[in-house]
Amino acid sequence: MDVPFNVSLDLKTGEMKPEGIMVVRRLSQMRGAFQDHDAAERMVAESDPVIYRVYNVVVPEESGQLQFCTSIIYPGRVGDEYFMTKGHFHQKIETAEVYLTLQGQGLLLMQSDDGRVATLDMFPGSTSYIPPRWAHRSINVGSVPLVLYAVYPGDAGHNYGIIEEKGFSKIVVAGPCGPVVMNNPRYSG
């Protein structure tokens, strides 16, 4: 991109116009990400809900450029687990990212490639720094859509394979008094 441009971002809904490439992620595309496979299969058969959408502006995937997008993670649960993004490392693992939460309540779950885990609260105005080498997943722990705006290097790319295969070492479930971070019983390291 070598010409300046504007997009119009709705700070409440996260919609961007022009919307560029929109990703719609339904449960059927990430059923293995949730612990309760039976609950996931039932929900897929019933309505296959949209878990989240991402509005991506089209910018070349090149060093020096900046990608930016909004993600909208809907409220809901699969079993005890809240709706969440698939989660990924960046393909170019040395690249960082900033998330600005616009609406809702979430938890940003992160795990470094040497096994450290961190969570950060996401709330309107929270500006979260995801350092290089940390996988990241956004989890909607509230009752309204979680809307976040992200900026990251143009050539970062996405590596979903490791998380699809292993998951994170922690999961976030609904407890009697709100979200609880627990060890992932399926995690093999």
Q: Which residues bind Zn ion (CB under 5 A)?
A: 97
- Shortest Å, Cβ 90 to Zn ion: 6
Residues 74-133 interacting with ligand PAN (rule: CB under 6 A) = 85-88, 97
Say which entry of Zn ion, ligand PAN, none residue 170 contacts (CB below 5 to 8 A, set by partner kind). none
For the chain, give the longest Cα–Cα distance: 52
Say which entry of Zn ion, ligand PAN, none residue 85 contacts (CB below 5 to 8 A, set by partner kind). ligand PAN
- Shortest Å, Cβ 93 to ligand PAN: 12
Nearer to ligand PAN, 1 or 24 (CB): 24
- Shortest Å, Cβ 67 to Zn ion: 9
53 contacts ligand PAN (rule: CB under 6 A) = no
Nearest to 83 by CA among 16, 21, 188, 174: 174
Phi, psi of 37 (to 5 degrees): -65, -35
Residue type, 103: Q
Phi, psi of 119 (to 5 degrees): -130, 150
Distances (CA, A) of 169 to 40, 135, 172: 20, 11, 10
SS (H, E, C) 19-64: CCEEEEEEHHHCHHHCCCHHHHHHHHHHCCCEEEEEEECCCCCCCC
- Shortest Å, Cβ 179 to ligand PAN: 18
Q: What radius of gyration, in Å, describes the C-alpha atoms of the chain? A: 16
54 contacts ligand PAN (rule: CB under 6 A) = yes
Q: Which of 35, 71, 111, 128 is in the footprint of ligand PAN by CB under 6 A? A: 71
- Shortest Å, Cβ 38 to Zn ion: 30
Helix (H, G, I), strand (E, B) or coil at 4: coil
Nearer to ligand PAN, 97 or 179 (CB): 97
Nearer to Zn ion, 81 or 97 (CB): 97
Residues near ligand PAN (CB under 6 A) are 54, 69, 71, 85-88, 97, 136, 138, 150, 152, 158
